[in-house]
Amino acid sequence: MSLDKIKYHLNEIDKITKSMDLGDIFSYSKVKEVLTAAELGHSVPKNFAGADGITPDGAGVEYKSTIQKTIQATYNGISVQPTWEEQKKYLINEKIGKYKYHYHARFEGSKIVEMWMLTGEDVLELVLPRLKKAYKSVKSKKDPRLGITLSQKWIKLKGKKII
């Protein structure tokens, strides 16, 4: 297959997603969000802020994806609040707990080979203690934002396997 053929198809995909007002499909993990939403029967929001997917009943959900050999999920770039109490409130109400369901997908190319669903409450239970520890030192770091990776162990501990 020639590069011209790949270029043609990528341009067509770009046209389709722009006509659907989905923005730049090649930015961030948008293409993986579209693939995840299609697999789950969800729709994709038109903007980059907020929910990654929308369930048929209108609820926003969070998607995380990886191309690693084992499932994992990274929550990074979390804004730091002035106090831990404010941080916890932000994590619960605005960042993680805001979404009832979090879907973690492992990709091989464009194919989802593994997917797990966790509730927002389960994710909070797993990340809050670790983020509290990280919060104490984050302001002295070069990048003063919080981040955490959920390992395969943690995802499988609380998650429900979808694929």
CATH number at residue 106: 3.40.210.10
Mean pLDDT of 110-119: 97
The domain in which residue 37 lies consists of 3-161
The answer to whether the beta carbons of residues 82 and 89 sit under 8 Å apart is: no
Q: What percent of the chain has pLDDT over 90?
A: 65
pLDDT at 109 over 80: yes
Beta partners for residue 160, in sequence order: 117
Q: What is the pLDDT of residue 102?
A: 98
pLDDT of residue 141: 67
Q: What would the pLDDT profile of 47-88 be if each residue is shown by its tens digit?
A: 767 899 999 999 999 999 999 999 999 998 899 999 999 999
Q: How many CA atoms lie within 13 A of 57 on its CB side?
A: 4
Tokens of 56: 């048929």
Q: What is the mean pLDDT of the chain?
A: 90
The total of structural domains in the chain comes to: 1
pTM of the model: 0.88
Please check the confidence at residue 15 and state whether its pLDDT lies above 80: yes
Least confident of 16-20, 42-46, 98-102, 141-145: 141-145
Distances (CA, A) of 141 to 2, 136, 145: 46, 11, 8
Cβ atoms 52, 22 nearer than 8 A: no
Beta strands across the sheet bearing 111-119: 53-54, 60-66, 101-108, 111-119, 160-161
For residues 82-106, average pLDDT: 95
The β-bridge relationship of strands 146-150 and 101-108 is unpaired
pLDDT, tens only, 124-156: 999 999 999 988 887 666 677 899 999 999 999
Residue 115 and residue 111: Cα distance in Å, rounded?
Answer: 11
